[in-house]
Amino acid sequence: MNDRNNNSLPTIPLAMTLVGQTVTFAGVRNAGRGLTHRLAEMGLAPGENLEIINRGPGPFIVSVKGSRFVLGRGMVHRILVRPE
Amino acid sequence: MKDKRLTIALAGNPNSGKTTVFNAITGARQHVGNYPGVTVEKKTGSTTHGDVRLDVVDLPGTYSLTAYSIEEVVTRNFLLDEKPDVVVDIVDSSNLERNLYLATQLMELGVPLVLAFNMSDVAASRGYNIDEEKLSELLGVPIVNTVGHKGKGISELLDAALVVAGKTASKQRYPNYGGEIEPHLLQLTELVEQKCSRQRSRWFAIKLLENDAETIKRLGQVCPEHIEELTLEAERIRKHIESVCGDAAEIIFADRRYGFISGACTEAVTQSVERRHERSDKIDAVMTNRYLGLPIFAILMFLVFQLTFSVGNPVVDAFDGWKGDLAGAVSGLWGESGADSVLRSLLVDGIIEGVGAVMVFTPLIMLLFLAIAFLEDSGYMARAAFVIDRLMHKIGLHGKSFIPMLIGFGCTVPGIMATRTLETRRDRITTILVLPLMSCGARMPIYVLILGAFFPERVFKVLGIYNVTNQALWLFAIYAIGIALAIVCAKIFRATLLKGEATPFVMELPPYRMPTIKGLAIHMWERTWLYIKKAGTIILAIVVVLWALAYWPKLGEEKLGVFEQQRAVVQAEKQADAEQIAERLEEIDNAEHEAKLEHSAIGRVGKTIAPVFRPCGFDWKISTATIGAFAAKEVFVGQMGVIYSVGEEADEESEPLREKLAAKYTPLIGFCIMLFSLISMPCMVTVAVTVREAGWRWALLQVGYLTVLAWVLTTIVYQVGSRLV
């Protein structure tokens, strides 16, 4: 995966975070090039901070670069983040 | 003097207010069509500014120019092939960093560019202080502040566009990708220039490094003899970049573009507080709450139908009355002898009754489209996708599939087009297959006709405050049945023909916005106008054909004579009182009407196919109307109108269609008609669009499974129902 922010903290799935927490995006498990690129273009590149705004019944709402994104139920289990 | 003519293309992120700017520039002079070969909507309009005539093209909303979605491909190809004289990028100034990403790509593409910093009033009120002059200098692009829905800054925007139009973008900057990348990029750029294209060579080089399939294809067409050399060289550089930077080249590029933007913004933008989403987040805390979200969604949907019905119905009744007056007036032109006039029958029984039956529902359709436009423009549509994601996940789709379905409540055709935003073909096909089960606006007239005939309006009080009509409840039930069936069918398709893992769901939530009256009016009118146009063209043609089929061949003199004799006998009876006589005369009239219809071409066709529909509780009249509904759903209403008026001497006292139906059928049959119309084969236009979008096999499957499902369910309901009642 990405090594630019190679700090010693382990990564956890986004699904394990709590509302109000700010975490660092680390990557997506089993993601093809297309998905990773698309996320990067939306502003969700490795090293980017994201804040968990809301967790609904499955999907999450997160804040990235001042925008709100819905990440679906499948995605929140595959996205890896580092807690601050 | 010959006027100058220029083409302006409007680009921008979804939700940047692009449409409001487009509306502000072009006003009502708009034309909606499709880009050639694809079903992405192409909106064009025109205006004059000074002595220059401007053709304005509203490009699809995109976040970038990477060819991931069809919208992005369309936007990119338009810029490359059509070469508009100037591109205006509409930027949401309260969300600069993300919106400027597209701008960096337009700058790299080297198109003559103007940035419209839209919603500048909102940005200011939210604590953003933007130094446009400085930012303009840093980016090398003119910037104009606009407030689309108030029309502010539009004239200045056009001034700026005319200045840069057609000029080579010499001053424009673009991101510098840094010491590890730039030398290689430069080298590849030179190679592209030498071998392939002198124009946009840097952009082509970047796209080659991003391994962009569309670009490789395009270059392959321009210089087939060199494409292999170029891709090999790009591959080599890409490997190098990846080994040095530790990430895929395209990720590095995206990251550096954001870096470039962020650098410019740090210098030119100060931000007192982060407040863009403050209000939206508060609203969302309720709207997307894990327990409240779904009930709120259901209540909103119910309110949509309740509003449509309670406001629309009285207007429809008034229209219906006028239609009757018009029929009477036209009929009156022939006087007493008019009964035998073919022209009178065509005008009154065919056109006024048939097309009129469809037209009187225009107010309802307008209200429904207004409600959908409100949900779209306010930003709630995306929340609905969020709230429904878990449910959608259970059936193997995700929340985003729900947006085309919601649009499908207005009309299936744009719903199918909206599936373009879904990433995988599997999701698209599944969504398209079940979309016709989302009851569209054209089916509304059928429900309203039936409900009005069989389920007289009653008003309940809910929580002692809200007035809810039983008709709205029935309508809601019909829509709910459609949704439930869609869920079951999607699940079956995903488990059988369209197996596979659920695709990732990522979607931006726009901040809530109060929709503008102008925006709502334009959206509502666009779609309503299509409905009216359809009634005036396709439906008019079908109705005339149906009228002819119902008019000829005519009953022979001999048979008509029988009814005359019967009438004479009744009138001659001296003992009976006037009331009895009138009643018996009416019975004879009805029998005569039936006989005439059964003798006509449509009667014969209907009788032939009727056995198929008998288990559903339909007689031959309903059966023919059901078949006619394939042309367009609302034809059902028109056709019932024609069938029940041909051969009848229409005058001001002829009863409305509703009363005729109520006298002839039971409420159970009424419900069966609604159920069958909900499920059965989608209309011609839907089938045509499905063929184009998914291929004829899927279209065939769609027609087939829906028709069989409709027949089976309606039969079950009728058979069980008629034994219980």
Say whether A72 and B258 touch across the interface (CB within 8 A).
no
Of B398 and B439, the one with more pLDDT: B439
Report the share of chain B in percent with pLDDT over 70. 92
DSSP character string of B199-242: TTHHHHHHHHHTT-HHHHHHHHHH-TTTHHHHHHHHHHHHHHHH
Of B101, B398, B508, the CB nearest to A68: B508
Pairing of strands B143-145, B113-118: parallel
Of B288, B393, B509, the CB nearest to A73: B393
Q: Please tell me whether residues B147 and B231 are part of one structural domain.
A: no
Q: Note whether residue B151 is domain-resident.
A: yes
- Residue B143 above 50 pLDDT? yes
Looking at CA atoms only, how far is residue A68 from chain B in angstroms?
5
Structural domain boundaries, residue B105: 4-164
- What's CA B450's distance to the chain center, in Å? 25
Q: Find chain B residues with C-beta within 8 A of A4's C-beta.
A: 245-247
Q: Find chain A residues with C-beta within 8 A of B500's C-beta.
A: none
Q: Find chain B residues with C-beta within 8 A of A41's C-beta.
A: 63-64, 66, 101, 254
B301: confidence class by pLDDT, cuts 50, 70, 90: confident
Q: Cα–Cα distance between B275 and A1 in angstroms, integer?
A: 34
Of B1 and B687, the one with more pLDDT: B687
Residue B291, classed as helix, strand or coil, is coil
Q: Cα–Cα distance between B490 and B169 in angstroms, integer?
A: 50
- Residue B710 above 70 pLDDT? yes
Of B272 and B207, the one with more pLDDT: B207
Supply B486's token pair.
């869609």
Q: Please tell me whether residues B153 and B241 are part of one structural domain.
A: no
- Residue B627 above 90 pLDDT? no
Domain final position from B253, B271, B289 = B271
Q: Find chain A residues with C-beta within 8 A of B385's C-beta.
A: 70
Whose structure tokens read 């093809």?
A: A32
Cα dihedral sign for B482, B484, B490, B496?
Answer: negative
DSSP character string of B137-169: HHHTS-EEE-BGGGTBTHHHHHHHHHHHTTS--
Q: Which residue of B has its CA nearest to A38?
A: B68
Q: Find chain B residues with C-beta within 8 A of A5's C-beta.
A: none
- State the CATH number of the domain containing residue B94: 3.40.50.300
Q: Find chain A residues with C-beta within 8 A of B502's C-beta.
A: 72, 74
Q: Note whether residue B354 is domain-resident.
A: no
Q: Note whether residue B541 is domain-resident.
A: no
B508 sits in the region (left: phi over 0; alpha: psi -120 to 50; else beta) called beta
Q: Please tell me whether residues B130 and B243 are part of one structural domain.
A: no
Of A35, A40, A41, the CB nearest to B504: A35
Say whether A56 and B247 touch across the interface (CB within 8 A).
no
Best B247, B423, B501, B503 member to test A by mutation, with max A CBs in 10 Å, is B247
- Residue B171 above 80 pLDDT? no
Q: Please tell me whether residues B121 and B67 are part of one structural domain.
A: yes
Best A2, A65, A67 member to test B by mutation, with max B CBs in 10 Å, is A67
Supply B549's token pair.
């089929």
CB A31 within 8 A of CB A56: no
Class of domain A12-83: mainly beta
B333: confidence class by pLDDT, cuts 50, 70, 90: confident
> How do residues B42-76 score in pLDDT, each as one tens digit?
788 889 888 899 999 999 888 888 877 778 888 99
Cβ-Cβ contacts under 8 Å between A and B: the total is 144
Q: Cα–Cα distance between B717 and B676 in angstroms, integer?
A: 10
Say whether A70 and B68 touch across the interface (CB within 8 A).
no
Q: Find chain A residues with C-beta within 8 A of B505's C-beta.
A: 59, 70-75
Q: Which residue of B has its CA nearest to A72?
A: B505
Q: Which residue of B has its CA nearest to A68?
A: B509
Q: Please tell me whether residues B10 and B158 are part of one structural domain.
A: yes
Give me the phi and psi of B650, to 5 degrees please.
-65, 130
Of B98, B246, B248, the CB nearest to A43: B98
Q: Please tell me whether residues B203 and B79 are part of one structural domain.
A: no
Q: Cα–Cα distance between B220 and B238 in angstroms, integer?
A: 19
Of A36, A68, A72, the CB nearest to B398: A72
Q: What residues of A are in the B interface, CB distance below 8 Å?
A: 2-4, 28, 31, 33-43, 45-47, 53-59, 61, 63, 65-75, 78
Of B462 and A71, the one with more pLDDT: A71
Rg of the Cα atoms in chain A? 12
Q: Please tell me whether residues B39 and B149 are part of one structural domain.
A: yes
User: Residue ranges per domain, chain A?
Assistant: 12-83
Q: Please tell me whether residues B63 and B197 are part of one structural domain.
A: no
Q: Which residue of A has its CA nearest to B384?
A: A70
Q: Find chain B residues with C-beta within 8 A of A71's C-beta.
A: 505-506
Residue B378: count other Cβ atoms within 10 Å of its Cβ: 17
Average pLDDT, chain B: 84
Q: Find chain B residues with C-beta within 8 A of A55's C-beta.
A: 290
Domain final position from B271, B287, B305 = B271
Among A75-84, B160-169, B232-241, B461-470, which stretch is predicted with the lowest mean pLDDT?
B461-470
DSSP character string of B317-375: HHHHHHHHHHHHHHHHTTGGGGGG-HHHHIIIIIIIIIIHHHHTTHHHHHHHHHHHHHH
Say whether B98 and A3 touch across the interface (CB within 8 A).
no
- Residue B692 above 80 pLDDT? no
User: Mean pLDDT throughout B362-379?
Assistant: 84
Q: Note whether residue B489 is domain-resident.
A: no
- State the CATH number of the domain containing residue B202: 1.10.287.1770
Q: Please tell me whether residues B34 and B83 are part of one structural domain.
A: yes
Q: Find chain B residues with C-beta within 8 A of A32's C-beta.
A: none
Best A68, A75, A77, A79 member to test B by mutation, with max B CBs in 10 Å, is A68
Q: Note whether residue B53 is domain-resident.
A: yes
Q: Note whether residue B725 is domain-resident.
A: no
B713: confidence class by pLDDT, cuts 50, 70, 90: very high
Supply A45's token pair.
């590149």
Q: Is B219 exposed, middle or buried (0-12, 13-18, 19+ CB in 10 A)?
A: buried
Q: Note whether residue B545 is domain-resident.
A: no
Q: Cα–Cα distance between B475 and B450 in angstroms, integer?
A: 10
B649 sits in the region (left: phi over 0; alpha: psi -120 to 50; else beta) called beta
Best A70, A75, A76 member to test B by mutation, with max B CBs in 10 Å, is A70
Of A33, A41, A69, the CB nearest to B64: A41
Residue B274: count other Cβ atoms within 10 Å of its Cβ: 12
Q: Find chain B residues with C-beta within 8 A of A42's C-beta.
A: 63, 98, 506, 508
Q: Please tell me whether residues B23 and B134 are part of one structural domain.
A: yes
Residue B2: count other Cβ atoms within 10 Å of its Cβ: 5
Residue B240: count other Cβ atoms within 10 Å of its Cβ: 14
Q: What are the CA-CA distances from residue B278 to residues A40, A68, B284, B285, B512 (Å)?
A: 25, 11, 10, 11, 10
Looking at CA atoms only, how far is residue A47 from chain B in angstroms?
10
Q: What is the DSSP letter of A29?
A: T
Looking at CA atoms only, how far is residue A59 from chain B in angstroms?
7
Best A37, A50, A52, A71 member to test B by mutation, with max B CBs in 10 Å, is A37
Say whether A65 and B258 touch across the interface (CB within 8 A).
yes
> How do residues B16-39 score in pLDDT, each as one tens digit?
888 889 988 887 666 666 565 555
CB B396 within 8 A of CB B430: yes
Looking at CA atoms only, how far is residue B496 from chain A in angstroms?
21
**B506 Cβ contact partners less than 8 Å away, ≥ 6 residues apart:** A38, A39, A42, A69, A70, A71, A72, A75
Of B248, B251, B389, the CB nearest to A73: B389
Q: Please tell me whether residues B160 and B222 are part of one structural domain.
A: no
Q: Find chain B residues with C-beta within 8 A of A61's C-beta.
A: 284, 288, 386, 509
Q: Cα–Cα distance between B409 and B367 in angstroms, integer?
A: 12
Of A41, A72, A75, the CB nearest to B254: A41
Q: Find chain B residues with C-beta within 8 A of A38's C-beta.
A: 66, 68, 506
- The domain tally of chain B equals 2
- Residue B88 above 90 pLDDT? yes
User: pLDDT per position in chain A (84 positions), as tens?
Assistant: 444 445 557 889 999 999 989 999 998 888 777 788 888 888 888 888 999 998 877 789 999 888 889 998 878 888 999 987
Q: Which residues pair with B270 in a beta bridge?
A: B129
Q: What is the DSSP letter of A77?
A: H
DSSP character string of B7-52: EEEEEE-TTSSHHHHHHHHHTT-EEEEE-TTS--EEEEEEEEETTE
- Residue B179 above 60 pLDDT? yes
- Residue B274 above 60 pLDDT? no
Supply B643's token pair.
């069938």
Residue B53, classed as helix, strand or coil, is strand
Q: Which residues pair with B12 in a beta bridge?
A: B90
Say whether A66 and B390 touch across the interface (CB within 8 A).
no
> How do residues B182-227 score in pLDDT, each as one tens digit?
999 999 999 998 888 778 889 999 999 998 888 888 888 888 888 8
Q: Find chain A residues with C-beta within 8 A of B509's C-beta.
A: 61, 67-70
Q: Cα–Cα distance between B151 and B25 in angstroms, integer?
A: 8
Say whether B508 and A73 touch across the interface (CB within 8 A).
no
Of B63, B211, B505, the CB nearest to A71: B505
Q: Cα–Cα distance between B551 and B599 in angstroms, integer?
A: 9
**E strand intervals along A6-78:** 12-13, 22-28, 49-55, 60-64, 67-71
Supply B546's token pair.
């149906």
Say whether A66 and B276 touch across the interface (CB within 8 A).
yes
Q: Which residue of B has its CA nearest to A6?
A: B246
